[in-house]
């Protein structure tokens, strides 16, 4: 395993220690998503989602890319600890009822009708 500082590990652990951030990571395992789509699924405000995404990005869990008017977020674990955490998270919460509910909502999400452009 790669050498990692305790400070970097601290960021990874803290970034993953929130139910909404775990739900975001699980959502991004299925596909790229924009902030308004995640806000719809989570039932929280877009600014709150943006704050969660910033923490996940700083910790090295996710990346982003522009696509026209949208910014899409996707999993991009930048170190072995983030990769292993995502792998284990998928196992740990795979059968959770909230995660199953999120997965159903993701199927219904339509960014064109949700996002204020």
pLDDT averaged over every residue in the chain? 90
d(CA 88, CA 93): 9
Q: Please give the DSSP secondary-structure letter assigned to residue 32.
A: -
Q: Is residue 91 part of a domain?
A: yes
Has residue 117 got a pLDDT over 60?
Answer: no
For helices 97-108 and 19-28, angle between their N-to-C axes, nearest 10 degrees = 50
Q: What is the CATH number of the domain that holds 52?
A: 1.10.10.10
Q: Quote the pLDDT of residue 56.
A: 95
State how many domains the chain has: 1
For residue 8, the model assigns a pLDDT of 78
Task: Tell whether 32 is covered by a domain.
Answer: yes
pLDDT of residue 102: 95
More confidently predicted of 81 and 102:
102
Nearest in space to 28 (alpha carbons), one of 44, 41, 14: 41
Q: What is the pTM of this model?
A: 0.90
Beta-carbon contacts of 28 under 8 Å, excluding residues fewer than 6 positions away, are 62, 73, 74, 75
Query: Is residue 117 in some structural domain?
Result: no
Higher pLDDT, 68 or 2: 68
The CA radius of gyration of the chain, in Å to the nearest whole number, is 14
* Side-chain-side CA neighbours of residue 89 (13 Å): 25
**Sign of dihedral through CA atoms 82, 46, 34, 114?**
positive
For position 44, what pLDDT does the model report? 96
Using 50, 70 and 90 to split pLDDT, how confident is the model at 26? very high
pLDDT at 20: 97
In a domain, 45, yes or no: yes
The residue-averaged pLDDT of 17-42 equals 95
Instruction: Specify the pLDDT at position 18.
Output: 95
């Amino acid at each position: 395993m790669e050498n990692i500082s305790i400070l970097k590990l601290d960021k990874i652990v803290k970034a993953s220690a929130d139910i909404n951030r775990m739900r975001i990571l699980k959502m991004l395992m299925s596909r790229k998503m924009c902030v308004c789509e995640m806000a719809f699924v989570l039932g929280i405000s877009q600014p709150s989602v943006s704050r969660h995404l910033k923490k996940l990005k700083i910790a090295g869990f996710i990346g982003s890319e522009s696509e026209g008017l949208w910014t899409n977020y996707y999993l991009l674990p930048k170190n072995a600890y983030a990769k292993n955490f995502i792998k284990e998270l998928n196992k740990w919460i795979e059968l959770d009822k909230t995660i199953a509910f999120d997965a159903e909502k993701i199927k219904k999400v339509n960014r064109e009708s949700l996002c204020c452009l």
